[in-house]
Each structure stands twice: as C-alpha cells, then as structure tokens.
Chains A and B, each alone.
Chain A
Amino acid sequence: MKITSSFNRALWVFHINSGSCNGCDIEIVAALTPRYDIERFGIKLVGTPRHADVLAFTGPITNDMVDKVKRVYEQTPDPKVVLQVGSCCISGGVFHESYHLAGPLNKIIPEATCIYVPGCPPRPEAIIQGVVKAWEFLEGIKK
C-alpha cells in the first residue's frame, strides 16, 4: 500500500449505530486508543456525514432506522465507501428472522460499494485491515 499524494488528507470516518449490541462499537473505539492507535495515521471519527470519506455501519437495520440510514448515505459527498463492520450488517447475524428488522444493508442501499468485515465482534486488527482496504480503493479512484 502506497500513500500517494493524490489523496491529500487522511481518511475521516463517520460511525452509525443502527440497532447494534455495542460490541462492534467498542472495538471501533478501541482501535483509536493507544494500544492499536490508528489516529497516528490521521484517521479520526468525525461528527457529521458531510465531512466523511468512509461510513462505518454496525448493527442490523431495524424498521425505525431505514429512512435515517438512507438519508445519511445521500448526505455524504462522493467519493465514498461503506464499511460494514460485524456480521449483523452483512446478513442480520443471530437476529435474522425477527419481525422488526428491515434486512441486510445490501437490500436497502444496493448501489453502495461495500467492504465487509465479518466477526461477532471483529477484532480491532481486522477493522484496521478493512480501513486499509478502503484507503487503497479510494486511492485507486482518485488516480
């Protein structure tokens, strides 16, 4: 992986919790703390989707959060990549047959380019590898 000058600043990530159990969320925040420390590369969590390059989703999408998820996806400017963290986003996880779920993320936003990080919850090292793949993908677009 080469950090070229075509992508002038480091990746900024916006994290959305759409009904998750918080296991994946604490592993995302643990990736920022001094043990795993991806903040030294400039990757940080921002508070609004308008500044973000990568959207990190966790949790199975419940009925209530469907339109909010779609709105956040539309508010993020291009180029962008969706990072699906945890098995709940990818396929519903252990809750897949419930009456209050609206389905895996691919059913709601079919046109998004996604990077999948499976696990329940995935280790911080796996999340870092997912972010690195997102970075390589975005470098490829800019060139």
Chain B
Amino acid sequence: MNLEEVIELLKGMAKKYRIQSKMAGVKKKVERKSLWIDVDRDKLLEIVQLVVDNSTEFPHFCVASTSDMGETVEVIYHFTINYGKPLEEVQINFKVNLPKKDLWIPTLTKIVPGTIFSERELHEMMGIEIKGLQDTRHLFLTTDFPKGVYPWRRDETGPKNLNKLYEGWKQ
C-alpha cells in the first residue's frame, strides 16, 4: 500500500489528517513524507486493526509519545509499514486527545504485542490509566517513587524534590 491507498482506507474513521514532507539527499533528491491522523479514543482499536490486516508484513511499531497540553493530554502512536523495499516506507502517526479529568485509553497489546513497554511507561510517567493491561508495575522508576508524582506533567503533579547540587550537602 502506498501513501494514497492508506489515506483512502483510513479517511472515513479519522477526524482529520495532514501530510508533512521534507527533502533529503544531495545528488539525488528524494522527498520524505509522513502522515499525521487525528482519531477518537473509541475508534483507536479499529483503525489499528485495519492497518494490521491490510499491510503485506506486520507493521513496525516505533514508540508512543505524549505531551501535556494544559487541559488535555495528547498521546501519539508511531507506526511504519512497507519497509523492505527502498524508498517505499510510509510513516503513520495516530494522535489521540484525552481530557485530563477522564484519563484512560484502551490497551493495544492484544493486536501489537510490542506495545507493552510503551504502555507501562505512559502509565508511570504521565498517569494515564490503560484499560486491559495486566502488568502495571513501574518500568523505569523505582518501586518506592512517591505516588501521584508524574515526571512529564507540567502542572502541580510534577517532581519537586530535585537534587540541587550546591545546597547544603557540604558540611
């Protein structure tokens, strides 16, 4: 599937989409395009299943990133399909907006098993509840890290106990 076929397939389920492109190469110039799609939280599982069913090889999941936008929290899942043939890869990014008062998202581990580490990290760093995830232990923070402190948030739950260097450790 190339870029136009992907857009045709997913256009119905998405709220909106846009294409971002950049040139690369010196003597032989190529254009690198990436596709950014906004979806609703309840359509997320369907749209990922559609991509998995319609691509020749299993899609490659890169990472799930997140940002704190004040009232909402944005989660982006980065996928690529069509690797293996030169210059034919398509980068697809699914963006989901979640309100802070109702912060949950369904798990993708049943469709793509490689998302388990990303979802554990989203849970411990941003405080998002993943519905359906069995293993919710801390991944990168210690087990006795204070509860309710989320390092990537920009509001009052960010970390406060910073290890400042020159304050009072020299007796």
Instruction: Count how many chain A residues have C-beta atoms less than 8 Å from C-beta atoms of the other chain.
Output: 15
Query: Could you tell me the distance between the alpha carbons of A92 and B169 in the complex, rounded to whole angstroms?
Result: 13
Chain B residues with Cβ below 8 Å from A97 are 162-165
- Residues of B near any A CB (own CB < 8 A): 141-142, 145, 151, 159, 161-165, 169
Would you call A107 an interface residue if the criterion is a C-beta within 8 Å of the partner chain's C-beta atoms? yes
Looking at the complex, which one of A64, A99, A104 makes contact with B161 (CB distance below 8 Å)? A99
Query: Which B-chain residue is minimally distant from A98 (CB atoms)?
Result: B163
Query: Could you tell me the distance between the alpha carbons of A96 and B169 in the complex, rounded to whole angstroms?
Result: 13
Query: Could you tell me the distance between the alpha carbons of A102 and B163 in the complex, rounded to whole angstroms?
Result: 7
Q: State the Cβ distance, B170 to closest chain A Cβ, in Å.
A: 9
Interface residues of A in 74-124 (CB under 8 A from B): 91-92, 96-104, 106-107
- Cβ B163 vs Cβ A99 within 8 A: yes
Chain A residues with Cβ below 8 Å from B163 are 92, 96-99, 101-103
- Cβ A107 vs Cβ B165 within 8 A: no
- Cβ A100 vs Cβ B141 within 8 A: yes
Query: Could you tell me the distance between the alpha carbons of A101 and B162 in the complex, rounded to whole angstroms?
Result: 8
In the A-B complex, the 6 residue pairs with the closest CB atoms: A99-B159, A101-B163, A96-B165, A64-B142, A107-B169, A63-B142
Chain B residues with Cβ below 8 Å from A101 are 163
Query: Could you tell me the distance between the alpha carbons of A98 and B164 in the complex, rounded to whole angstroms?
Result: 8
Q: State the Cβ distance, A86 to closest chain B Cβ, in Å.
A: 16
Chain A residues with Cβ below 8 Å from B161 are 99
Chain B residues with Cβ below 8 Å from A102 are 163
Q: State the Cβ distance, B16 to closest chain A Cβ, in Å.
A: 37
Query: Could you tell me the distance between the alpha carbons of A76 and B165 in the complex, rounded to whole angstroms?
Result: 29
- Cβ A99 vs Cβ B151 within 8 A: yes
Query: Could you tell me the distance between the alpha carbons of A101 and B169 in the complex, rounded to whole angstroms?
Result: 14
Q: State the Cβ distance, A76 to closest chain B Cβ, in Å.
A: 24
19 contacts between A and B (CB under 8 A): A64-B142, A92-B163, A92-B165, A96-B164, A96-B165, A97-B162, A97-B163, A97-B164, A97-B165, A98-B162, A99-B162, A99-B163, A100-B141, A100-B142, A101-B163, A103-B163, A104-B169, A106-B169, A107-B169
